[in-house]
Amino acid sequence: MADKDLYKILGVNKNATQEELKRAYRKLTMELHPDRNPDNREEAERKFKEMKAAYDILSDEQKRAAYDRYGFDAVNGNGGGGGGGFGGGFGGFSADVFGDIFGDIFGGGRQRQARPETRGHDLAYELDLSLEEAVNGSEKRIRIPTYVRCKSCDGSGATTKSVKRACPSCNGSGQIRIQQGFFSIAQPCPQCGGKGQIIENPCTDCHGDGRVKQQKTLNVNIPAGVDTGDRIRLAGEGEAGERGAAAGDLYVEIRVRKHPIFTRTGDDLHCEMPISFVTAALGGDLEVPTLGGRVVLNVPPETQTGKRFRLKGKGVKSVRSRAAGDLYCTVTIETPVNLSKKQKDLLAEFGNTLSEGGKTHAPQEKSFLDKVKKFFDNL
């Protein structure tokens, strides 16, 4: 079976929903029923077991994910039925295979147990942080609407003198059967919700659920160095479970707001620094902002726009390794505006001197003009 496509065995595509899988499974169960294949019972049995193994894997979300990613070897041994022969009219079908499928559809098979108290759902909370809060770490207080354990009954769902007894509708099985023609389909008992028990005197605050809905306030410690997409798990801070069952977890997902100066790539920070053309030509010292304060950057003479300077260790300390990233400053040369007549005359005079002495004062411009000349010469 390892070389076969489980989706093709069930006749569904890889994006099939659980409901589509269930419909295909029930259809094939009818088609491969031994009583419908008296002339080819052995082949029907083989296909039936194959189909059952495929359904067992694909109907389980974790097994399905493992199969989709790694193939049949990742779930081998967890899918198909086993055990000894099953007597009666179905010949060589194993008790495990037969009981799981025909128990729901044809009314036989193993007796299913009542549904246990349900663990609380996991919750997700999106937390916005400034870049400074994400880089340096912080403590944030959040409020979330959720289910919390009922204080009146301490999560039991019952009053002090109340007792639990077997549900009279399902006799404690948690299921009832509905006959639909040839089929007998099992459904959760509506009176006990599939739990198999009812509380004679339920708590008046939670109505027997063991939990109530309210706003919960939590303090969340944000470790230094987190970034957008990081998640912080708070165990047991999700929804409270039913009637004392375990609570789910809370996942705080980080979103870092856009910063007016810095952008972040991994543990490195980037910024753009405008400088005057005088500083670019003659050089000078430039004050550069960092998240830890100001530092002085020496700009060498004849700096061109787009030149990038690296300030080692001035980025973000990694949340995992604590190694610090770098800060990269890219300079852009700003053209002066609102010039007076005197300033314009001085610039014009300066421009005239650039052609004297046969020296190249604009290497990028000369290189570009040479490329343009060569382009037109080759036309």
301-338 as b/e, with b when 16 or more CB fall inside 10 Å?
eebeeebebebeebbbbebeeeebbebbbebebeeeee
Q: Are residues 285 and 363 in the same domain?
A: no
CA distances from 293 to 297, 315, 378 (A): 13, 12, 55
Q: Write down the pLDDT at residue 93.
A: 39
Q: Are residues 232 and 354 in the same domain?
A: no
With H, G, I as helix, E, B as strand and everything else as coil, classify residue 125.
strand
Q: Write down the pLDDT at residue 128.
A: 95
With H, G, I as helix, E, B as strand and everything else as coil, classify residue 205.
coil
CA distance 147 to 330: 51
Q: Are residues 62 and 10 in the same domain?
A: yes
Q: What is the CATH number of the domain that holds 312?
A: 2.60.260.20
CA distance 344 to 350: 10
End of a domain among 73, 105, 137? 105
Helix axis angle, 41-58 to 18-31, nearest 10°: 170
Q: Write down the pLDDT at residue 35.
A: 66
What's the structural domain count of the chain? 4
Q: Write down the pLDDT at residue 94.
A: 38
Identify the CA nearest to 274 among candidates 331, 329, 327.
331
The answer as to whether 190 is a domain residue is no
CA distance 171 to 318: 58
Q: Write down the pLDDT at residue 28.
A: 85
Domain containing 211 equals 123-163+200-256
The answer as to whether 307 is a domain residue is yes
CA 138 to chain centre: 23
DSSP letter string, 30-93:
HHT-GGG-TTSHHHHHHHHHHHHHHHHHHTSHHHHHHHHHH-GGGTTTTSS--SSB--STTTT-
Segment 238-285, tens digit of pLDDT: 999 988 889 999 999 999 999 999 999 999 999 999 999 899 999 999
CA distances from 105 to 27, 180, 184 (A): 11, 10, 6
Q: Are residues 130 and 238 in the same domain?
A: yes
Angle at 21 between CA 34 and CA 179, to 5 degrees: 60
Predicted TM-score (pTM) of the model is 0.58
Q: Are residues 355 and 316 in the same domain?
A: no
Q: What is the CATH number of the domain that holds 60?
A: 1.10.287.110
The answer as to whether 180 is a domain residue is no
Q: Are residues 36 and 95 in the same domain?
A: yes
Can you tell me which residue has the tokens 């204080």? 151
The answer as to whether 270 is a domain residue is yes
Identify the CA nearest to 31 among candidates 50, 4, 57.
50
The answer as to whether 376 is a domain residue is yes
The answer as to whether 184 is a domain residue is no
Whether the CB-CB separation of 317 and 225 falls below 8 Å is answered with yes
Q: Are residues 21 and 68 in the same domain?
A: yes
The answer as to whether 195 is a domain residue is no
Identify the CA nearest to 242 among candidates 157, 140, 364.
157
Q: Is 95 left (phi over 0), alpha (psi -120 to 50) or beta?
A: alpha
Q: Are residues 86 and 71 in the same domain?
A: yes
CA distances from 264 to 128, 140, 293, 325, 360 (A): 16, 22, 17, 10, 38
Q: Are residues 224 and 346 in the same domain?
A: no
The answer as to whether 46 is a domain residue is yes
Beta-ladder partners of 220: 140
Average pLDDT, rounded, for the chain: 81
CA distances from 183 to 12, 179, 190 (A): 23, 6, 20
Q: Are residues 264 and 225 in the same domain?
A: no
Q: Are residues 45 and 97 in the same domain?
A: yes
CA distance 64 to 54: 10
CA distance 7 to 16: 9
Q: Are residues 210 and 295 in the same domain?
A: no
Q: Which stretches of the chain drop beneath a pLDDT of 70?
A: 1-3, 34-35, 70, 73-117, 179-184, 357-363, 365-366, 368-369, 379
